[in-house]
Structure 1
Amino acid sequence: MSSKSFEKRKVWMSVGTALLATSVTAASANGQEAFDSVSASASMMSVSAAALNEGEGGEGEGGEGEGSAKADLRTDNAAYLARLGLIRGHLWVGIKLYQEGHLAMAKTHMKHPKDELYAGLEPVFEARGVSGFAKELSALADAVNNEQGDEAVNSAYSALLKAIDRSENLASKSAKEALISISQMIRTAADEYAIGVKKGAIVNVHEYQDAYGFTEIAIERLDRLTAEQQKQAAEDIERTKQLLLELRTLWPKVNPEGSVEGDAASLYGTAARIELMALN
């Protein structure tokens, strides 16, 4: 087990235990709403135990993302959406860094078809009857890494987003699948944030930035749901958006200086609550 995987699992269990304990205390005093918090915490604890027994499927183990080493992306729509969401998240934060003039950092977030997140997706795309976006991914990586200028970067990014849209085909998925994918993305964001931020100190800015990108793409995914999907789970979608927007305080800047007031527990708790809403 890598030190990164061990650290993630340790955080999972400690955060889950703390949330469950505090939620049980609150429930005895505050009734049904607090009971929902207990249920969410219990859900997170069960996922934590599963992570210990099955592995997390992080980078280098089949790709970044919750359970990605186990899920069959050819048939599991939620896991498929989550994987593409993580790719989108890396690219989103890379472009934001680029736009703010942090070129060296931007380059580290540019994904290439040979990178672990895209590797292995070709048979998935084939099974799903979509073309993928390897060419567009390479074009953006080249535009940023070779410093081809703003026009080339913006054009490549726009073309790539359209190509991802075609492969993702979000409109064909259910609201439940979209919400589960968001829960998975936020759990991955929590893993990254837990590694990137220790007691308010930025110890790994790349992981901190990854978590930022994953969360912003989760918000953006809600905004792209169709009217029909909105009807399927209107209240849950609205509540999910509220929960995600509250997380934005964890990232005062994409490249912060000094300490931040944030903790991965907020992300873990939000992921569990979204999952619970989707499953119910």
Structure 2
Amino acid sequence: MGQGRRAIELFLALGASAGLAVGCGLPYQDGAAGPESGGATATSPAPGAGHHEGGEGGEGGEGEAGHGNTSHGERKDPGSPLTYATVLGLMQGHLLVAGELMQRGRAADAEPHLAHPADELYGDLEPELSRRGAVPFRGKLTVLQDLIRTAPTAPATAQAVEEARRSIDQALAVLPNWERRDPAFVATVIRELLNTAASEYEAAITDGRIAETVEYQDSRGFVLYAEQLFSGIAPQLAASDPALERKLASTFAALKPAWPDPVPPSRPVLTAQEVRQRTAAL
């Protein structure tokens, strides 16, 4: 079973995680009716979600329950907005770290990260893209896979990465505007990405050494994209929920030393337990 395959299976299998408190102190409710449907607001209390990458205890060591507070014995709804947004976020994380590696002239290292969105994640997402009326983008991903093998240093390859990222953004944009711009929703997606990153980081470490480079890089990419999401909501959070804004900012500051470079150090800067503790603090 491939790395991304394990990731999506784990993400769907792990139970709902406690939502992040936003605004009036209530967690985001995945799938709650929003202003456009005349229902409750997106800050009604309810579960969020758990992980994505790692299925059989392989990638990220996420195979079983018991990581942080994410396991409540409920399987994620693959059609929920939170799952949809998180899977797209995991795709973005793969492409971000691939882009870093390409800039370093490490096309061979970038190749698996460019392959996973198409080979391991897209198939699970495809029914939701169709149901939600999003433009399919498998072709963009497969072209990218071909280019990284045949023309790794060509400008067209770097351009194809950016085009794929824009396609993922466009797929996210089919969610209702009130939802994808809601700090509670975005903060819960951030939590899911960080939880997944912690599990990938754990899977990268064996006997006190970083033995699995791809898993280390996956976790780095997921944190990078989560931080981008945070940057987008930080001003709004600073006004509506300054305590949460400070907590997220401090979490990223505490986590980022674990990934000093896209090429991993031989020994981890932070232990897997330290990373897990820092993500579980959210």
Relative to the length of structure 1, the TM-score reads 0.70
1:47 to 67, 70, 76: 70
Q: Secondary structure at the match of 2:122?
A: coil
Q: Partner residue of 1:4?
A: 58
**What is the rounded CA distance, in whole Å, between the counterparts of 1:140 and 1:150 in structure 2?**
12
Aligned residues: 224
Deviation at 1:5, TM superposition (A): 7.4
1:71 to 76, 83, 91: 76
1:251 to 246, 250, 259: 259
Matching of residue 100 in structure 1 with residue 100 in structure 2: no
Deviation at 1:152, TM superposition (A): 0.6
1:181 to 170, 181, 189: 189
Whether the 8 Å CA contact 1:111–1:141 is kept in 2: the answer is yes
Deviation at 1:147, TM superposition (A): 1.9
- What does the per-residue CA deviation read over 1:154-200, in whole Å, with 9 as the maximum and x for residues that have no partner? 21122122211111127542211111111111111111111102354
Whether the 8 Å CA contact 2:190–2:226 is kept in 1: the answer is yes
Give the share of equivalent positions with the same residue, in percent. 26
Runs of 5+ in structure 1 lacking a partner? 17-43, 55-69, 275-280
Relative to the length of structure 2, the TM-score reads 0.70
Question: What amino acid does structure 2 have at the position aligned with 1:175?
Answer: P
Deviation at 1:269, TM superposition (A): 2.5
2:85 to 81, 84, 96: 81
Question: What amino acid does structure 2 have at the position aligned with 1:138?
Answer: T
* Compared CA separation, residues 72 and 262, structure 1 to 2 (3 A): same
Deviation at 1:226, TM superposition (A): 8.5
1:149 to 143, 148, 153: 153
Whether the 8 Å CA contact 1:199–1:263 is kept in 2: the answer is no
**What is the rounded CA distance, in whole Å, between the counterparts of 1:233 and 1:6 in structure 2?**
31
Runs of 5+ in structure 2 lacking a partner? 1-54
Deviation at 1:252, TM superposition (A): 2.0
**What is the rounded CA distance, in whole Å, between the counterparts of 1:232 and 1:136 in structure 2?**
38
Deviation at 1:73, TM superposition (A): 3.8
- What does the per-residue CA deviation read over 1:124-159, in whole Å, with 9 as the maximum and x for residues that have no partner? 012222114222222322221222533112211221
Residues 231-250 of structure 1 aligned to structure 2 (within 5 Å): 231-250=239-258
Whether the 8 Å CA contact 2:61–2:200 is kept in 1: the answer is no
**What is the rounded CA distance, in whole Å, between the counterparts of 1:6 and 1:225 in structure 2?**
27
Q: Partner residue of 1:219?
A: 227
* Compared CA separation, residues 116 and 71, structure 1 to 2 (3 A): same
Whether the 8 Å CA contact 2:60–2:197 is kept in 1: the answer is no
Residues 126-165 of structure 1 aligned to structure 2 (within 5 Å): 126-165=130-169
**What is the rounded CA distance, in whole Å, between the counterparts of 2:93 and 2:265 in structure 1?**
22
Q: Partner residue of 1:190?
A: 198
Deviation at 1:89, TM superposition (A): 0.8
Deviation at 1:81, TM superposition (A): 1.6
Deviation at 1:203, TM superposition (A): 1.2
Whether the 8 Å CA contact 1:195–1:204 is kept in 2: the answer is yes
**What is the rounded CA distance, in whole Å, between the counterparts of 2:215 and 2:59 in structure 1?**
13
Residues 198-213 of structure 1 aligned to structure 2 (within 5 Å): 198=206, 200-213=208-221
Q: Partner residue of 2:279?
A: 271
Deviation at 1:246, TM superposition (A): 2.1
